[in-house]
Amino acid sequence: MQKPRWVVVMLCELLLLGGCVDTSRPPSYESVGQAEEDMAQSDGLPEAHPAFKVHFTHALYEDEGAEFTPFGSDEGWDLVMEWGERRDELDPEVTVSQLLELSDFAGAENEGDVDAATITVGAGFTVLRLTGQIDEAGRRHTLRALQTLEDFYGPIEEVGVQRRDLESWPD
């Protein structure tokens, strides 16, 4: 029985490519350690402002994957990571509306829209996490966005925690 031509070609390519790897020197412990350190620095959410850490203590504020946490949605994650890297460009008194506009999400104030609500929640908590403050209009808008999510999906524990914590945020 004759083997198909593509099997022979694949085997030849594997033999050729396999010979290109330098296996005579294993990676040094220093290079492995540096790679681990680089990965550790890029993992996780940006460092939270001390005022945020004191008030927002529930584990959901560090959760990067749960859909109904501030930074678990794609939009919330993108906002906090982008502005975490650009923190030095962020005015300490930035408003939620300004952050939305700077992030090309202007118009996310469309109340009643679930996608806009998700973006607004991400923006509100990004402002809080990175600056330790939120403007009163942005706070109210974020609270309305959380209510929009609950109106659409029904009661959600994570959203309820965020709403209670934001309602009790000191002015």
Structural domain count of the chain: 1
Instruction: Say what the pLDDT of residue 4 is.
Output: 53
Query: Residue 26: inside a domain, yes or no?
Result: no
Q: Is residue 56 part of a domain?
A: yes
Model confidence, pTM: 0.74
- 24 lies in some domain: no
Work out the burial of residue 12: count CB atoms within 10 Å of its CB; fewer than 13 is exposed, 13-18 middle, 19 or more buried.
Answer: exposed
Spatial separation of the C-alpha atoms in residues 167 and 100, rounded to whole Å = 21
Integer Cα distance of 157 and 66 in angstroms:
12
Distance CA 141, CA 120 (A): 8
Instruction: With beta carbons less than 8 A apart as the criterion, state whether 50 and 130 touch.
Output: no
The span from the CA of 111 to the CA of 167, in Å, is 19
2 occurs within a structural domain: no
In the DSSP assignment, the letter for residue 112 is: T
Asked if residue 115 is part of any domain, the answer here is yes
Is 113 contained in some domain? yes
Domain holding 98, by residue range, is 45-167
Task: Report yes or no on 10 lying in a domain.
Answer: no
Per-residue pLDDT for the chain (171 aa), expressed as one digit of tens each? 454 554 444 544 544 445 544 444 444 444 444 444 443 344 699 999 999 999 999 999 999 989 999 999 999 999 999 999 999 999 989 999 999 999 988 766 667 789 999 999 999 999 999 999 999 999 999 999 999 999 999 999 999 999 999 999 987
* Distance in angstroms (rounded) separating the CA atoms of residues 125 and 101: 15
In a domain, 25, yes or no: no
CA gap 155, 158 in Å, rounded: 9
